[in-house]
A and B are shown apart, each in its own frame.
Chain A
Amino acid sequence: SQQGEEDPQALSIQEGENATMNCSYKTSINNLQWYRQNSGRGLVHLILIRSNEREKHSGRLRVTLDTSKKSSSLLITASRAADTASYFCATRGSSNTGKLIFGQGTTLQVKP
């Protein structure tokens, strides 16, 4: 079962602009992670934010988490053509199984 939804489903911007993707989820979480997938490839972990954190930065990435609204956002600043990919949020619940539940993903196209 899918935990939640990502919005927008697709996003097209010019190089240099910022890209914002949103993720909503349904149940309580231990942490939320963002992954990137280039076309036809495996996923690569980008950043993890714990349920007691509100904001986290990594290079040009900024992630926020609002547990009261059960939502997260990923901001990519000063985008580059190489950022073109699909981005997925994944939530980890409070159980010890290590299972992640993935959203549907946002496809980002950055035009040079």
Chain B
Amino acid sequence: DGGITQSPKYLFRKEGQNVTLSCEQNLNHDAMYWYRQDPGQGLRLIYYSQIVNDFQKGDIAEGYSVSREKKESFPLTVTSAQKNPTAFYLCASSPQSRSSYNEQFFGPGTRLTVL
């Protein structure tokens, strides 16, 4: 099956710990994105990557870090510097960001809770 996967589905973190959320896609998409969703809210962009070994900050990048060493993988690390990390995290990909009309394909999400 082609698609985008995220793991784990649920993640619990103690305060002061860094955690890494996985995002993998086998759709051969160039662009990948990380969003944060808080209850009853829309999505806010954390980081995005248009090509391997390159990524850009989104609107709320503070306290997060990413890497894009492989086309199919775009892991997100939530660091201890993120003051309010409890949220639902969504990863997405799209075929080619420079194409004007591409939709984004979303993974199932990871729910992170800080204990």
Contacts and interface: CB of A to CB of B under 8 A. Distances in A.
Interface of A: 1-2, 30-31, 33, 35, 40-45, 48, 50, 88, 90, 92, 96-105
A40 B105 contact: no
A45 B98 contact: no
B50 A105 contact: no
A10 B85 CA distance: 26
Contacts, number: 69
B35 to A, nearest CB: 8
Given A1-B59, A42-B109, A45-B104, A88 B98 contact: no
A98 B42 contact: no
Contacts of A92: 100
Nearest to B90: A42
A98 B48 contact: yes
A16 to B, nearest CB: 27
B82 interface: no
Interface in B36-58: 40-45, 48, 50, 56, 58
B50 A104 contact: no
B93 to A, nearest CB: 10
Given A42-B90, A88-B43, A104-B42, A98 B109 contact: no
